Amino acid sequence: MANKVLPRNKIDKKFTWNAESVFPSLKAWEKEAAQIVEDLPRAKEHQGRLAESADTLLEALNVSEQLIGRAYKLYMYASFSYAVETTNQQAAGLLGKSQGIYGQVAAAIAYLQPEILGIGKDKLEEWMSHPSGEKLAVYRHNFEDLFRQQAHVRSAEVEEILGMVLDPFQGAFNSSSMLTNADFKFKTIKDSKGNIIDVTQGNYDAQLMHLPDRKARKAAYETYMHKYVEHKNTLAANLETSIKANVFNMRARKHENTLSASLFNLNIPTDVFHNLINTFKKNLPVWHRYFDIRRKALGLKKLAYYDMWAPIAKKKVKVTYEEGVKMICESLAPLGKEYVDTVRRGCLKDRWVDVYPNQGKSHGAFSSGAQGTYPFIMMSYTDNVGSMSTLAHELGHSMHSYLTWKHQPFVYTGYSLFIAEVASNFHQAMMRGHLLNTVKDKNFQVALIEEAVGGNFFRYFFQMPTLARFELETHQRAERGEPLTADMMINLMADLFGEGFGPNFDIDRERVGMTWSTFQHLFADYYVYAYATGISGAHALAGRILRGEPNAVKDYLGFLKSGSSDYSLNVLNKAGVDMTSPQAVEETFAVMESYVDRLEKLVG
């Protein structure tokens, strides 16, 4: 492992995202930003006139979509530029500017929903059923969903205000992101041999927590988390502000509570959330068994948080970026040549991926883009099985976006957070299903299962449900008007993780209790639970293909192409998974248990 993280300008361009394909220069970005602001009055040209005719309504929808699409492309470029180099003040400026412009566009088109509701269902149906209403009929599901939400859509004036507050409501997230990604400077650490190692957001998760040297892992963990503890009050205040914003939106839209408000938007019953939490708690003994196997394999009396990613495999398994792309593509062969060729070209030719760590690069990984751009990936590849799995995961997101953008009109080019994690985890499930059957090397199999259970499942099926329990409790306290202090959050998080980890675990309550502050996902209202439902849907769908069930591939590709053209639960149902039942969650715990069984045999 290289101990020094390179500055951004030392990274080979072929391993950086294809920014110039979005905007050829910063000058082009600034020109488009100015043009969008200049075009804003066009968004209101049809205000008060939507009921005139189907043509007027269609024109207004087209204008609003063009502006939103352009504003999002502007924001996507700025946010990605900032993520790969958070210390770049110019990129930070672009991000702030793009958020402001997006908020202006949202406010300018806020009149649409109230006016469409004013037209009424009958008149809209009449327009769409007319031979000349074919283009308007594309919006049928969109209109149906709008009328479903009618009781929670406010007047045009109130909707405009709610659109205007989008930008300032981002302040808490921006503050935490800037603090942790740009301002946090971690002390260097020493490993057992006295080597000095940098600690950064880019290399902490991807490299340092995977070191075989326990002294180095512990030092990295304590140094990293100490910085968060040092700023616990600021970080808690930011999260409290975000939670209060959710409570404000819930009350402004007249919902009963924040959970029902968030899930209502996607037409998902709250039982789906509670089924997940209850099934997770019921299956905690599976986790306790895994933790015990890991503890024994590492020769420890008690496991600590920084031991969760320690390698059990006797030898480090190296997987270069190019080798990782090759194995991922082989694993996806059942989906067809066109699908695989698209993935390979995106990774090796079209520069979808910003591959390696660099100084100032944000931690974690994500896929981002807009209709008309590539579905870009930001990550920090470090030549191991975990990095290969992360790449497979993000490519799942990217292919979901790619096929949705290709097959859906703009109005349906998004997809909900509820299904966002299905395609990503599907890729990983397919990869493991293929590699565990084709690669016979014992060391590789151990590393692959470690990545599966200790990496992917630990994050999606342990950390995220635990964070979902934390999120529900903090929101309920805010709804009751109770204060959310740093110490309260720390103690709540430590208690939940203590229950999850079981008896043979050494809980550093303050540091483990600060885990919530390292997950910026909590700034997206009730998002974390969807990671666990996503991995469940993914394994149910992958299981169909791996078992060779009829039409399984066709059904899955249909899911990827659907976007938001139907409700999330319906889209998954058509692909063969019923998420209103705990069955998919139970099925995924069974898959995890099979990995634990295999690991136990491999490590003796």
CB 431 within 8 A of CB 327: yes
Q: Is residue 394 part of a domain?
A: no
Together in a domain, 59 and 204:
no
Q: Is residue 80 part of a domain?
A: yes
Q: Which pLDDT belongs to residue 3?
A: 53
Residue 102 has which token pair? Answer: 């997006």
Burial of 296 (0-12, 13-18, 19+ CB in 10 A): middle
Q: Which residue, of 474, 489, 523, is where some domain finishes?
A: 523
Type of residue numbered 287: W
Nearest to 270 by CA among 458, 468, 563: 468
Please count the residues of the chain.
Answer: 604
Together in a domain, 125 and 38:
yes
Q: Which pLDDT belongs to residue 149?
A: 85
DSSP letter string, 137-181: HTTHHHHHHHHHTGGG---HHHHHHHHHTHHHHTHHHHHHHIIII
Q: Which pLDDT belongs to residue 196?
A: 96
DSSP letter string, 440-508: --HHHHHHHHIIIIIIIIIIIIIIHHHHHHHHHHHHHHHHTT----HHHHHHHHHHHHHHHH-SSEE--
Together in a domain, 12 and 44:
yes
CATH of the domain at 256: 1.10.1370.20
**H or E element in which residue 505 lies:** strand 505-506
φ/ψ (deg, to 5) at 283: -95, 10
Mode of pairing for the β-strands spanning 505-506 and 303-304: parallel
Burial of 246 (0-12, 13-18, 19+ CB in 10 A): buried
Burial of 158 (0-12, 13-18, 19+ CB in 10 A): middle
Distance CA 573, CA 306 (A): 39
Together in a domain, 24 and 151:
yes
Distance CA 565, CA 419 (A): 13
**Would you give the distance in Å from CA 196 to the centre of its chain?**
33
CB 436 within 8 A of CB 602: no
Q: Which residue, of 110, 143, 169, is where some domain finishes?
A: 169
Q: Is residue 134 part of a domain?
A: yes
Type of residue numbered 423: A
Nearest to 561 by CA among 464, 432, 460, 419: 419
Residues of the domain holding 112: 8-169
Together in a domain, 163 and 227:
no
Together in a domain, 266 and 299:
yes
CB neighbours of residue 90 within 10 Å? 12
Which residues on adjacent β-strands are paired with residue 505? Answer: 303
Together in a domain, 21 and 151:
yes
Cα angle 129, 133, 139 (rounded to 5 degrees) comes to 90
Q: Is residue 599 part of a domain?
A: no
DSSP 3-state of 354:
strand
Tokens 């974690």 sit at which residue?
364
Residue 212 has which token pair? Answer: 């075989």
Together in a domain, 164 and 194:
no
φ/ψ (deg, to 5) at 196: -90, 130
Mean pLDDT, 10 residues at a time, over the chain (604 residues)?
A: 76 96 97 97 94 96 97 97 93 94 94 93 95 93 92 81 83 89 92 94 86 96 97 96 93 92 91 95 96 94 95 89 98 98 98 95 92 97 92 98 98 92 96 95 93 92 97 97 96 97 93 96 90 95 94 97 96 95 94 95 88
φ/ψ (deg, to 5) at 304: -115, 165
Residues classed as catalytic: 394
Nearest to 219 by CA among 241, 194, 242: 194
Q: How many domains does the chain have?
A: 2
Q: Which pLDDT belongs to residue 1?
A: 39
pTM: 0.84
DSSP 3-state of 378:
strand
Together in a domain, 151 and 208:
no
Q: Which residue, of 102, 134, 169, is where some domain finishes?
A: 169
φ/ψ (deg, to 5) at 62: -65, -45
Nearest to 427 by CA among 346, 521, 315: 346
DSSP 589: H
**Residues 6+ away with beta carbon under 8 Å from 541:** 422, 426, 552, 555, 556, 559, 575, 576, 577
Nearest to 170 by CA among 236, 261, 242: 242
**H or E element in which residue 303 lies:** strand 303-304
Q: Is residue 373 part of a domain?
A: no
Q: Which pLDDT belongs to residue 525?
A: 87
Q: Is residue 393 part of a domain?
A: no
CATH of the domain at 124: 1.20.140.70
Together in a domain, 88 and 208:
no
Distance CA 445, CA 390 (A): 17
Distance CA 176, CA 370 (A): 25
Task: Give the ranges where 231-269 is alpha helix by DSSP (H).
Answer: 232-252, 258-264
Together in a domain, 35 and 155:
yes
Together in a domain, 88 and 40:
yes
Q: Is residue 355 part of a domain?
A: no
Q: Is residue 575 part of a domain?
A: no
